[in-house]
Amino acid sequence: MAESVKSDSLYAVLRSRILNGGLRPGQSLRLRALAQELGSSATPVREALNRLHAENFVTTEANKGFRVATVTLEELEDLESARSAIETQLLVRSIEKGDRDWEANLVSAHYRLSKCQVPNSFSQSEAIDLWDAAHTEFHFALIAGASSIWLMNFAQQVNAQLQRYRRHIILRIDHLNRAAEEKGDGALGVLSREALGIEAHTALMQAALDRDKIRAEALMVDHVSLAKEAFLKLAKASGIAGIDAAA
């Protein structure tokens, strides 16, 4: 039992580091070094890494051990496409089945998101954490009225993978925007603000509360499409093919 609890704790720590960029895409994960750093033995660290491997946060290679999963433009595009398909279905079902508690929770989540500053590369880690948590909370509040355990599980898995991309790219937004503006291209900055800002989320909330399935579905597709376009352009602008593969 003690080993299991230890493994759970190590899993949570390592997963958080991967999501927040503390462990970079492609970085080698050496058992002994991690065990020493985390004050553990190798066995629970290996168990934690195996769980992360099952969730596609970690990869393994014969005779090379564990490594943080790489991050690519192709996967980013695929994840955003999966997100669009899943969240759009869940949103429509939520509009059909959501009750007053769903409406109240959605309004509350929107309010909390509206009070968070849209993050940029000058934001403190805590500010990015707050925005990311509020953003995730809003999107899940939006689709929480649906009754589909499996689709919600898929939505959570896709969101966790996308969180790595968002954090990695957010830390580069201002640098990329300044570089684009120096080249006479201000569209990149506008695109990132539109993708992250509150306006699109407000429109989604209002369509959901109005029980307007057609408008809500169109807004969700447009919102995810815009986010995909913004993050792909930002990723390409920073020279990403397989984001920051570390030795």
Mean pLDDT of the chain: 84
Question: What pLDDT does 94 receive?
Answer: 98
Q: Pick the residue with more confidence: 145 or 18?
A: 145
176 burial type by CB count under 10 A (0-12 exposed, 13-18 middle, 19+ buried): buried
> pLDDT tens across 90-129, in order?
999 999 999 999 999 999 999 999 999 887 666 667 787 8
Question: What pLDDT does 49 receive?
Answer: 95
209 burial type by CB count under 10 A (0-12 exposed, 13-18 middle, 19+ buried): middle
Average pLDDT (190-206) is 81
